[in-house]
Chain A
């Protein structure tokens, strides 16, 4: 035994000497750092393909923002406040059926050719010709796009005010002189993207993308940093380690126990998690028991959202409320009276069930036909925080006499079941939301986003059909008047509270960590000028351009 220990010590020492040589080399490699650079740490699960096609959902987050730009920037943290970008102005007319952009002059592509209204027209017609590129489904609402001098006129099939976000703020503009000669733009890789943005892609390997400054950028004085490094991380731990050690300064990561693991490592390490969309319990409304509103209301009262947030989400994702309005991000839209109507109250939950004719036998409630209130709840096994949250919910529902059994599935099977309606209950926060509460509510509640069981529903996975809600959603599309919009959202909140189509539990956030040692200009809670996660398009390009050396 003694000898074994001796040999173990020998091996450790040997390894130490051996590895010691290595570290001398690596310090020599990293020495030259005269320019300002930022390194991003955002686990994507794959290595880079070095393709930058802005219409390929696989890689568009790598080019839209820093390289390719949009017509108008819409700030999702300020209820969609707009900033003119490649357009110098816009105007709605014809009862929100016509949108006219004035195209900015003096903008150049990074190959030196001038940018013009022709490029804008070309881009939208490219999407029309190739539905495989139309990630925002612009042509589901567009009728035509025409040019009028330096103006581009969008004509819509119906009133389309909220589509401003997709057309003006999410669709990247590409160069006509380059894309017009591409035979198949859907499978085009775009390895050397030519954009108008603050950065150029300067080199790429499967492991890291390097973005360099566009010195001829149209916004004078920007960008202020020289280089962005975007390494590919296939797993979370190495990505988190780079952030904790300060090697990466900009994180978009879920870090467990962030105070101990990240914040305490340096006084320069900070984080902010702005809430954007709800994580909800979805009911399959085609299920005969769950279609009974009493069951859904009982569940809404039985869930202690604060506790789920504290235990399941480390408190990073704040508790939601039944109106579906994410706070504090969209607080100006919230009807506080409605929100306070549904609070944690297990006694009330039980009395709702009793009044609706459910009978309690032993620990469980039963329907009149003798069926127990026992359901499966579908979840993603890989999301440890969601799994923990559902365990908390399971306890809380058990207390009022409803049994739920978690089914933790792989992401693909889970989504397949969600889209086709093969679930009883589901824990889900995968709505993409938008710059105002309307977008999430529309995704959740609009019947055109649904489909019969077995067919793919794009976002109304609970299969909620309500004609008056549909009318409200369509009425919102016809108005650009903030007062009317607030009024419509308040009515939708009422439906959320009374019908309980879903139960919002916690609020999904943008994961965002930043290091202030050498770089400032970061998005902060006090200055939320863009969504700060490195996967938000085009926001991350806008944030990157505002970063500067301290």
Chain B
């Protein structure tokens, strides 16, 4: 019980700190949103528009920082994030909810897939050190993980969409398809997700393989594994319940973190493939000094990471009795 209370207390404290920083940091940046919008249009709108935009955006309204902070806390408690200036005059919530499913589906599924596959490959290759699998997959994926992501992305586009023409090179779906829950739309969206997913997978998997393999090797040297062998247990049982269960523990926290970061999207993926997720929205909101959007996205990210860590703590407690309270 004390364990749960302590964890929850820590969660609330971190959340408050994050929310406060989230409020302060954007306001320390120079410039204002109206100028940011003018610069986005590279002279395509008249210079006299600046005044109109300032009036519309309500900048230069000299609200005191303290007052703004409490209004902000109140709004967050009620999940009201206000109007986005990047997507003026649309609601922040509406914009984020539009982009989030694309990111969750693409980055979320590939993150889980990379973890599961990576852990599995790491487990097997650690178990059979020097075997056929151990000699090929870990080195290969470590190499692919070492490449810069955008380079792999551009290479994949060049090979699979430009040279071979098998897959679309950009976007979340074909622009001439109607958006609906129909087979043609879903299959089109899946086709568009193949290349980004493939490139994320091969660049993310190496880390999981390597850590899992190394954990496995050190766990295999433990006395309790020798004991299990001496007892004459089947190697299958030793691999999974003795070695695997202990080797996965350090990876769990890392996995939880990366699951949390899924909601921040993958800026490079979305940039290279013109994918409509939240990663690009993040960058846009910062560039356009869109406090409202920035705060909503950062809050989402913080909460997701904190919740994921809380969940990982829980999972660790289940898998590893040593971390539980003595009481």
Interface residues of B in 27-61 (CB under 8 A from A): 30-32, 35-53, 55-56
Residues on the B chain within 8 Å of A449, using CB: 47
A515 to chain B, nearest CB (A): 16
Q: Could you tell me which A residues sit within 8 Å of B by CB distance? A: 3-4, 6-8, 11, 15-16, 18-20, 22-23, 25-26, 28-30, 33, 37, 39, 45-47, 49, 51, 53, 55-58, 60-61, 131-137, 140, 166, 170, 186-189, 203, 205-208, 229, 231-235, 237-239, 241-242, 245, 277, 410-416, 419, 429-433, 443, 449, 456, 458-459, 508, 535-536
CA distance in complex: A443, B43 (Å): 12
Set A7, A39, A137, A431: member contacting B48, Cβ < 8 A? A137
Closest 9 CB pairs of A and B: A238-B170, A132-B56, A137-B48, A132-B55, A415-B39, A238-B274, A187-B89, A416-B31, A430-B43
Question: Is the C-beta of B317 less than 8 angstroms from some C-beta in chain A?
Answer: no
Q: Chain A residues with Cβ under 8 A from B169's Cβ?
A: 238, 241
Q: A235-B272, A432-B43 are in contact. Are A26 and B55 (CB under 8 A)?
A: no
Contacts of B176 in A (CB 8 A): 29-30, 33, 37, 229
Q: Which residue of A lies closest to B43 (CB)?
A: A430
Shortest B88–chain A CB gap in Å is 5
Query: B167 in the interface, Cβ–Cβ < 8 Å?
Result: yes
Q: Is B69 an interface residue (CB 8 A)?
A: no
CB of A80, distance to nearest CB on chain B (Å): 15
**Which single residue of chain A is at the shortest CB-CB distance from B141?**
A11
Contact across chains for B175 and A45 when beta carbons are under 8 A apart = no
Q: Is the CB of A430 within 8 A of B90?
A: no
Chain A residues, CB < 8 A from B272: 235, 237-238
Cβ of B53: which chain A residues have Cβ within 8 Å of it?
Answer: 57, 132, 135
Chain B positions within 8 Å of A23 at CB level: 165-167, 191
Is A186 a contact partner of B43 (Cβ separation < 8 A)?
A: no
B47 and A431 contact, CB distance less than 8 A? yes
Min C-beta distance of A250 to chain B, whole Å? 13
B83 touches A187 (CB 8 A): yes
| Residue among B55, B88, B135, B166 making CB contact with A22, cutoff 8 Å | B166
Q: Choose, from B8-16, B182-190, B224-232, B318-326, the stretch at the interface.
A: B182-190
Partner of B30, one of A186, A235, A413: A413
| Smallest beta-carbon distance A157→chain B, Å | 15
Say yes or no: A136 contacts B48, CB within 8 Å.
yes
Chain B residues with CB under 8 A of A508: 43
The answer to whether A416 and B30 touch (CB under 8 A), given A26-B188, A277-B43, is: yes
How far is it, in angstroms, between the C-alpha of A29 and the C-alpha of B173 when the chains are bound? 10
Known: A22-B191, A29-B188, A136-B48. A242 touches B170 (CB 8 A): yes
A444 to chain B, nearest CB (A): 11
Cross-interface CB contact of A56 among B38, B56, B99, cutoff 8 Å: B56
Show the binding face of B for A, using Cβ within 8 Å.
30-32, 35-53, 55-56, 83, 86-90, 95, 98-99, 132, 135-137, 139-140, 154, 157, 160, 162, 164-179, 184, 187-188, 190-191, 194-195, 198, 270-274, 276, 280-281, 284, 287-289
Contacts of B276 in A (CB 8 A): 47, 206-207, 232, 234
- Given A242-B170, A535-B44, does the pair A51, B287 have CB atoms closer than 8 Å? no
CA distance A170 to B45 in the complex (A): 10
**Contact call B140/A137, Cβ cutoff below 8 A:** no
The reply to whether A443 and B47 contact each other, CB–CB distance below 8 Å, is: yes
Which of B99, B177, B179, B198 contacts A47, CB < 8 Å? B99
* A3 contacts across to B, CB distance below 8 A: 132, 135-136
List B contacts of A28 (CB < 8 A). 184
Task: Tell me how far the C-beta of A93 lies from the nearest C-beta in chain B, rounded to whole angstroms.
Answer: 25
Given A7-B136, A51-B89, A57-B45, CB of A208 within 8 Å of CB of B30: no
The distance from the CB of A291 to the nearest CB of chain B, in whole angstroms, is: 23
With contacts A47-B99, A47-B276, A203-B178 known, what are 20 further pairs, Cβ within 8 A? A22-B166, A23-B167, A25-B187, A49-B88, A51-B88, A56-B56, A56-B89, A60-B45, A131-B55, A135-B53, A207-B173, A234-B274, A241-B169, A277-B43, A411-B36, A412-B36, A412-B288, A415-B38, A449-B47, A459-B47
Instruction: Report the Cα distance A45→B169, complex, angstroms.
Output: 17
Partner of B174, one of A26, A166, A189: A26
B39, B164, B171, B273: the one within 8 Å of A412 (CB): B39
